[in-house]
Amino acid sequence: MTTHSSNRYSVDAHTADKFYIDGRWVAPAVPASLAVINPATEEVAAQVARGSSEDVDRAVAAARAAFPGWSATPPAARAGVLGKIHELILERKEQLAQALSLEMGAAIGFARAMQVPLAAEHVRVARDLLTSYRFHTLEGSTAIEREAIGVCGLITPWNWPLYQITAKVAPAIAAGCTVVLKPSELSPLSALLFAQLVHDAGLPPGVFNLVNGSGHEVGAAMAAHPDIDMISITGSNRAGALVAQAAAPTVKRVTQELGGKSPNVLLPDADFANVVPLGVMSAFRNVGQSCSAPTRMIVPRARLAEVEALAAATANAIIVGDPSAEETVLGPIANQAQFERVQVMIEAGIDEGAKLVCGGPGRVAGFDYGFYTRPTVFSEVENRMRIAQEEIFGPVLCIIAYDTVDEAVAIANDTVYGLGAHVQGQDLQAARAVASRIRAGQVHLNHPAWDPMAPFGGYKRSGNGREYGVVGFEEYLEIKAIVGFGS
């Protein structure tokens, strides 16, 4: 057993070196392991099993065998199991939060307040949908049947590990599908806890299976597997494209939630003293490691100096440090490769002539190790610059000036991405009009509360398909028309 410290998460030796397949913890077909690095210390926190195509074959076979029984299980019974999963997430929330903090550096307060509770909400929503969703409808004499698509391969990322697992697993099993999950190899510990939790909730063997491993081994095997009916991936654009290519020969459904470079348009009548700090914190939430983070703040040129001062004051007040400390707001970047990427992009912003308002390259003062990154704000950014076009995935904000609202909309849309967007303005009708012109899958007006029923997904290179709520649930369903049913 590998232990981080006496009062934090410890990896269960019974499960860390195994996969969860067909209701049991089983050893990999070929013994191999992956090191999990604690980003706060750069030390090995745990070793977990590394899978191969043989392990994927075993998991898919279990899921395929379980599918007829689970898909025929009444919705009320499926809801009952989901309800137990929801209860266990809340009951074990501290253990889950500690695992998230260890594996990807989430500040413990953020893990407790956001990462775990929001993950639980996806399960609650899926459970509740089953009480009202109509799987059978009649339109004239034609019956429309909505049936589980089959075996689903689910590939989740390292930045919101548990949250993205429940966003996929919960609606899939609610729909009557069976699943094979490949969590990110960079943050697999919360997934192991989730697998045990699902087992304890009484989900029948084979309905949920977990195989850890790399994308080029396990992910590729899942995407190409002829007995997987659907792949859902959240990840980079490169990973999404590779999965789609591998899935094409078997013509399986592929849904992708990929990159983003989300705009935050501040209209001239916005309450700048309020929305600029909120915009900075939204961009830097989860250390900026969110695909929908509003990292391009688009502001009236006449208010640029004011915005810079407000943004700098907010960024400079953020406490970056040990993720186990209660006062920490931002922990480290989740892994070394991403830390190095962020450093390269900060240097690129400086080299391209953007104005460095605060932050900059290098670690946070006082830290000689750990992937601690300085919250960084650039101004006088031109939308052609790399920092305005490429997803940085770290605490880096670009402030871009506009002269007219039409120009602001054009800047917002001048990106290959289209995942999220924000609009701020006291005239709600005007804000709505701007929102309708932005090419993005989800637009937030005036920093609203998170809505687990709001469909989430992207336009353009941000992917296809949707997650969350009814629309996300229906991604896991096939539609059958029975013509003459009512004759």
Catalytic residue set: 257, 291
**What span, in angstroms and rounded, lies between the C-alpha atoms of 394 and 111?**
17
Per DSSP, 414 falls in state -
**338 is written with which tokens?**
């991403």
In the beta sheet, which residues pair with residue 48?
Answer: 34
Cβ atoms of 210 and 192 closer than 8 Å: yes
**What span, in angstroms and rounded, lies between the C-alpha atoms of 45 and 41?**
9
Beta-carbon count within 10 A of 384 CB: 9
In the beta sheet, which residues pair with residue 299?
Answer: 401
Tell the residue number behind the tokens 């005007």, with chain if given: 430
**In a 3-state reduction of DSSP, which class is residue 400?**
strand
The residue among 347, 356, 412 whose CA lies nearest residue 379 is 356
Residues 6+ apart with CB under 8 A from 405: 267, 268, 434
CA 78 to chain centre: 24
**What span, in angstroms and rounded, lies between the C-alpha atoms of 190 and 100?**
6
